[in-house]
């Protein structure tokens, strides 16, 4: 099979106008340096400099049905971990919900050469200001995600209370990357019970990645959110926060957030909320299954205020092969006797829209 892969590449070299100048006698691909290998095996579709024909010439110069990515774009280079790049080179685009025209090189290249090529491709857009995709761990239900994202979410929340109507919320959440380390966001949250429409909250926010380390697998971010109500009697609020992630090898991660909820017009204007979460990561290509549990605690900063805390077991999964759409479900159980509710059902539907349309990649 490896000889078959080499023969195909040699055929392409002899027939494609962009690569006619390449010396076709060099067919021992595993002994070629990554830049030379790229010119022989990849430049036909991805362009001689890895930019993928940004002027639209790919339609005339290639037989592709979708435009190739720009490997020199630091945002594209940093979105996904190196392991995903290696997998696509090894197995081709189809198993990952990408273009079926991306061939598999697992039979033509050794695993070491595939890794070397993937590292070279990511280096074309390397920029130390951008947090690497290895630190984009799955979102939890409560801990704020530190990795800046461009994504849309539909977040649902239901509170079951003894002898009182069930309360429901549904948040529409839009987040957009802004430069290498920043993100702005907008949330719209209606709240209703079985008998009435209770409230409508609007929230705007900003997040900044402060520091990260790929080798130590950690990322620290800070942010500020402001919320006010278009309907309802709740006070407006400001919420500064710190949030971080620490990877534990390839199969686990720890999440932590610390948030101050400041409501100037409330009887208890300041409340401190913290979240600690543990997460397991089980992947099959781009598909991911990640069970997790969070401990959420909060206390008003007024003297003598009680501690309220709860546990939130949950599950995060990505049904599509591309992994750009995710679903999370969880249940929140109070751990204090003064709780006004029995449990809360939590969940969200997530779409990373930079990865492609919602309906593709399944």
Name the class of domain 133-355: mainly beta
| pLDDT tens-digit readout, 201-224 | 999 999 999 999 999 999 999 999
- Average pLDDT on 13-18 reads 38
Question: Domain 2-123 falls in which CATH fold?
Answer: Cytochrome Bc1 Complex; Chain D, domain 2 (1.10.760)
**Helix and strand counts by DSSP (H, E) for the chain:** 7, 13
Asked, colleague to colleague, whether 2-123 and 133-355 share their fold, the answer is: no
**pLDDT for 195:** 66
Long-range contact set of residues 336-340: C-beta below 8 Å, sequence gap at least 24? 336/306, 336/307, 336/308, 336/309, 336/310, 338/306, 338/308, 339/308, 339/310, 340/161
Instruction: Give the integer Cα–Cα distance in Å for 283 and 136.
Output: 14
The residues that bridge with 313 in the sheet, in sequence order, are 293
pLDDT interval class at 15 (50, 70, 90): very low
Closest CA to 352 of 174, 135, 192: 174
Residue 8 has pLDDT above 70, yes or no: no
Residue 283 has pLDDT above 70, yes or no: yes
pLDDT interval class at 196 (50, 70, 90): confident
- Of residues 119 and 54, the one with the higher pLDDT is 119
Residue 104 has pLDDT above 80, yes or no: yes
pLDDT interval class at 194 (50, 70, 90): low
Closest CA to 326 of 351, 354, 345: 351
Percent of all residues in the chain with a pLDDT value above 90, rounded to a whole number: 72
pTM value is: 0.86
Distances (CA, A) of 269 to 259, 302, 304: 14, 8, 14
Residue 24 has pLDDT above 70, yes or no: no
Helix axes 82-91, 111-123, angle to 10 degrees: 130
- Domain residues of the chain, as ranges? 2-123, 133-355
pLDDT interval class at 11 (50, 70, 90): very low
pLDDT interval class at 21 (50, 70, 90): very low
């Amino acid at each position: 099979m490896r000889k078959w892969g080499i023969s195909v590449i040699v055929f392409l070299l002899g027939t494609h106008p962009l690569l006619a100048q390449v010396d076709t006698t060099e067919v021992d691909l595993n002994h070629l340096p990554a830049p030379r290998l790229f010119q022989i095996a990849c430049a036909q579709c991805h362009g001689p400099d890895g930019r993928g024909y940004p002027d639209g010439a790919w339609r005339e110069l290639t037989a592709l049905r979708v435009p190739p990515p720009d490997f020199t774009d630091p945002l594209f280079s940093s979105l996904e971990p190196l392991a995903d790049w290696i997998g696509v080179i090894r197995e081709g685009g189809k198993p990952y919900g990408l273009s079926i025209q991306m061939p598999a090189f697992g039979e033509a290249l050794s695993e070491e050469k595939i890794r070397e090529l993937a590292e070279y491709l990511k280096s074309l857009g390397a920029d130390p200001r951008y947090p690497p995709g290895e630190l984009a761990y799955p979102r939890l239900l409560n801990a704020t995600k530190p990795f800046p994202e461009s994504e849309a979410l539909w977040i649902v929340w239901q509170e079951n209370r003894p002898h009182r109507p069930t309360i429901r919320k549904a948040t529409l959440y839009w987040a957009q990357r802004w430069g290498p380390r920043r993100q702005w966001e907008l949330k719209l949250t209606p709240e209703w019970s079985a008998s009435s429409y209770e409230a409508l909250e609007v929230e705007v926010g900003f997040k900044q990645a402060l520091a990260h380390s790929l080798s130590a697998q950690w990322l620290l971010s800070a942010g500020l959110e402001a919320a006010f109500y278009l309907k309802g009697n709740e006070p407006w609020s400001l919420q500064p926060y710190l949030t971080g992630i620490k990877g534990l090898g390839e199969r686990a991660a720890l999440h932590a957030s610390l948030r101050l909820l400041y409501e100037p017009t409330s009887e208890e204007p300041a409340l401190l909320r913290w979240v600690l979460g543990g997460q397991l990561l089980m992947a099959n290509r781009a598909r991911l299954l990640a069970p997790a549990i969070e401990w959420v605690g909060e206390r008003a900063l007024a003297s003598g205020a009680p501690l309220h805390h709860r546990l939130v077991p949950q599950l995060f999964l990505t049904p599509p092969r591309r992994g750009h759409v995710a679903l999370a479900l969880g249940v929140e159980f109070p751990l204090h006797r003064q709780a006004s509710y029995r449990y809360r059902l939590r969940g969200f539907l997530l779409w990373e829209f930079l990865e492609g349309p919602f309906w593709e990649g399944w």
